[in-house]
Amino acid sequence: MEDSPANPLWRGCFTAMANPCELLVGTADATSARRLTELAVAEALRIERKFSRYRDDSVTSAINKSHGEPVEVDAETARLLDYGRSLWELSDGAFDLTSGVLRRIWKFGEGARPPTAKQVRGLVKHIGWQHLQWHAPFVRMQKGMELDFGGIGKEYAVDRVAEILGQHSQDALLINFGGDLRAIGPPPPAGAWRVGIESLGRRSEALQVLALKHGALATSGDARRFIEHEGKRYGHIFDARTGWPPDQAPRSITAAADTCIQAGTFTTLAMLQGARAEAFLDGEEVRHWCFR
């Protein structure tokens, strides 16, 4: 969408949750758009501070360092734990918020290699929602386990920002956190937001351009985080039951839904289906775009 006198557009950019983020506002009022961007930044950083596993002062770290003792959590954390339990049940255990321990052995920097089967087996025994005691407002994890909200955190942040901005603006808004998006308000002056699905190779190219008027899009894939070793490609989405990426998963899945966390749920659960990803999405009647 081009910025022009007939089609004004404000673009605010920032970084949160280790991702490039942006807010597009269909307005010529720079003061209002700047205020909306400040609200988006504040909420994104609040969620990052609260739930990041990399911060010593986060709720996640407090739970992970509890050494088997119960931890009382607030209502927001409780809702995310409830959602994580639902995803664990829906996926038959493939999606599990307790799979955070896998980051100890799976690295995706330059020259990284996949872990050994022995290393994976050693950590999988510390994964499993069934080993976690969750009776709101108290959560208790066994020693050696780790909680990780990374699988739903970014999409949750998009929806929270959408909720807040919707209370302060009636402009056309597009919230984009690292490729997970939500459009709220009226359609932009151009009629729809033009959204590109990132190429599997060159980042400057798009696999497909979509027209988004309202609702959300989320994408899962291995375009940026993967390992290639001995002719095999390993993505960064793991089946919590095995500790390994699913076999024959698509390289990229984009799904549409009313909210970003719903769209992200569909893409992640589809990835975990491996070769059956498209069949799963078809069965759920989810509008999607898969690339292999």
Neighbouring CB atoms inside 10 A of 107's CB total: 13
Fold of 10-291: T-fold (3.10.520)
pLDDT in tens, 185-243: 999 888 899 999 887 765 567 788 999 999 999 999 887 788 888 888 899 999 999 99
pLDDT in tens, 31-78: 999 999 999 999 999 999 999 999 999 999 999 999 899 999 999 999
Given a cut of 70, whether residue 125 has pLDDT beyond it is yes
Longest dimension (CA), the chain: 62
Residue 275 to residues 23, 191, 235, 250, 278, Cα–Cα distance (Å): 35, 36, 14, 7, 8
Q: Report phi then psi at 63, rounded to 5.
A: -70, -45
Domain boundaries, the chain: 10-291
pLDDT value for 201: 65
218 vs 152: CA distance, rounded Å: 11
Q: Which amino acid is at 171?
A: D
Q: Which amino acid is at 269?
A: L
